[in-house]
Amino acid sequence: MPISRRKAIGAMLTGTAVVAGVQKAPAASHEKLSNKEMVAMLYDTTLCIGCKACVSACAQVNDLVPDTGDSNGLYQMPKYLNDKTKNIIKLYEDEKTGLRTFVKAQCMHCIDPACVAACPMAALTKNEKNGIVQWDGTTCLGCRYCQIACPYNIPKFEWNEVNPKIVKCQFCDHRTDGKGPACCDVCPREAVIYGTREELLRIARKRIADNPGKYYEDRIYGEYEGGGTQVLYLSHIEPKLLGHLVPLDHRSIPEQVESVQNTLYMGFLSPVIAYAALTSYMKKRWQKHEEEAKHIEEETGLKEQL
Ligand code: SF4
Ligand code: SF4
Ligand code: SF4
């Protein structure tokens, strides 16, 4: 039975174990899904022209407040994924080698998502029919374990709201008009397309076969990385240079580490003490994460497209 945010916070403050959400085992719904059922996106760096139509469409269909922070309030110009931006286009440019590309970032909709495994309240779930990783605000505590767990640094938190939400791409699951993700719908170059994972893997393999040497190591990023993702990338540049496409082995994060929820609720610590300890731990970890991201940006030349 789902439990409310109010009950969960109350239980934490009184030291009572919250059972309904916490004892839920990490979702294994991915095991029931085949590539045929999973919806997916395929983004191809060689086709993207950096027009950012996908960024605007994403903001529009998701009713996001325009992010004008870096333009003195003049126009929408998000630099990073943030609480107002679920989809971003960045420019990678290396003046020494002449390598240059745009890259799109949003939630990767992992096949075995670390955010789902880490969430103690089952506020993040993997849809059993199509694999979309969805966030539900009714049970979210705002603990931000999902942020820490995500290997791609995707979920963002509304720091300035009284009732903050976790913000991330939900694969436009609210669009029931059959058009699919708005970013794919508007892309003038079909640089990002939508379909089943099976279909898109087939298309990606054909592009590789038809264009020998065009794509980095003839590889489809996301086919296996981190246990596989439902957003797939074809890139002519080494994926790790493109920011969020970090090198991961073929096992998912939940497979590799014990989930945060198991560690947190082993029963040895009262929830309120554990919460305080983890908040402090997370703050430090998050600062480190931000510093690393900045470092990668300086090292690789990855920057916003102006
Ligand atoms: S990319 Fe991050 S937020 Fe998205 S499903 Fe994977 S772990 Fe969750
Ligand atoms: S699928 Fe929807 S929410 Fe996700 S990046 Fe595309 S437009 Fe934005
Ligand atoms: S709409 Fe298509 S071409 Fe334009 S920036 Fe987005 S992915 Fe690239």
Q: Is 171 left (phi over 0), alpha (psi -120 to 50) or beta?
A: left
Q: Residue 151 sits in which domain range?
A: 5-304
CA of 212 to the centre of ligand 1 (A): 31
Q: What would the two tokens of residue 184 be?
A: 């794919």
DSSP characters over the chain: ----HHHHHHHHHHTPPP-TTTTSPPP-GGGG--TTT-EEEEEETTT-----HHHHHHHHHTTPPP--GGGTTSS----S-BTTBS-EEEEEE-TTT--EEEEEES---BSS-HHHHH-TT--EEE-TTT--EEE-TTT--S--HHHHH-TT---EE-TT-SS--EE---TTTT--SS---HHHHH-TT-SEEEEEHHHHHHHHHHHHHHSTTTSGGG-EETSSGGG-BSEEEE-SS-GGGGSS-----SS-HHHHS--HHHHHTSSSS-HHHHHHHHHHHHHHHHHHHHHHHHHHHHHH-EEE--
Alpha carbon of 170 to ligand 2 centroid (Å): 7
Q: Which ligand is nearest to the CA of 155?
A: 1
pLDDT for position 196: 96
| pLDDT of 296 | 55
Query: Domains in the chain: how many in total?
Result: 1
Could you tell me the pTM of the whole model? Answer: 0.81
CATH code of the domain containing 132? 3.30.70.20
Cα separation, 306 vs 303, in Å, equals 9
CB distance 89 to ligand 3 below 6 Å: yes
Question: Is residue 186 in contact with ligand 2, taking CB distance under 6 Å?
Answer: no
Q: Residue 277 C-alpha to ligand 3 middle, in angstroms? A: 42
Distance of CA 188 to the CA centre of its chain: 24
Predicted local confidence at residue 95, as pLDDT: 87
Do the beta carbons of residue 50 and residue 102 sit within 8 Å? Answer: yes
- Local confidence pLDDT in tens for the 306 residues of the chain: 444 444 444 444 334 333 333 334 444 566 778 989 999 999 999 999 999 999 999 999 999 988 877 777 777 778 889 999 999 999 999 888 889 999 999 999 999 999 999 999 999 999 999 999 999 989 999 999 999 999 999 999 999 888 899 999 999 999 977 889 999 999 999 999 999 999 999 999 999 999 999 999 999 999 999 999 999 999 999 999 998 999 898 988 888 765 455 555 555 555 555 555 555 555 555 555 556 556 556 655 666 543
* pLDDT attached to residue 18: 39
Check the CA dihedral 284-68-241-105 and report its sign: positive
Task: Kindly state the tokens that stand for 177.
Answer: 């008009």
Does the Cβ of 48 fall within 6 Å of ligand 3? yes
116, 168, 255, best to mutate for ligand 1 pocket (most atoms within 8 Å of CB): 168
